[in-house]
Homo-oligomer: A and B are copies of this chain.
Amino acid sequence: MDGINCSIARALGEVGERWSLLIIREAVMGSTRFDQFHERLGIARNILTDRLATLVSHGVLDRIASPVNARIHHYTLTRKGHELLPVLAALMHWGDRWIHAEIGAPVVLVNRKTTKPIAQMALRGESGQPLDSSDIDITAGPGATPRMRQRLKC
């Protein structure tokens, strides 16, 4: 496949696994310690150990020894990790709309300053105007392989 040439495929290689994205969600919600992730996600310890190590190796999480007890580590989001929040927000809004529509959103992301819900995650044009998926074309970028250019006919 065009995996190596696709930002989606490579992004999924780093974080595209159910537990990884839920661990990042937990980190956004304030969890930092192994036991917090373990308890709040109900994830097996060996899987959690593996996923945390993977996220640290990809630079999504930092692992820092506690200043109080060097045997305890805190996992915090790096800049790269924080910038996954639009992905989580888009997934959350989609789930709110298509899965939780009847009972209402469990959690709402709000603008801290105004306490109003953030705008729905949407495709937007260069001036910020919302676009539908039918308004979008897919074109080859500077990093496109010949195969991808051929496929996109450009």
- A contacts, CB < 8 Å to B: 1-3, 5-14, 16-18, 21-22, 25, 28-29, 40-43, 59, 80, 82-100, 103-119, 121-128, 131-145, 148, 151-152
Identical copies in the complex: 2
Cα separation A112 to B70 with both chains bound (whole Å): 55
- Decide if B126 touches A116 in the complex (CB within 8 Å): yes
Q: Among the listed B87, B105, B118, B137, which residue makes an inter-chain contact with A143, where contact means beta carbons less than 8 Å apart?
A: B105
* Chain A contact surface mostly: mixed
Q: List 11 A-B contacts (CB under 8 A).
A: A6-B95, A7-B93, A12-B18, A82-B134, A87-B91, A106-B145, A108-B139, A108-B140, A112-B136, A117-B126, A119-B126
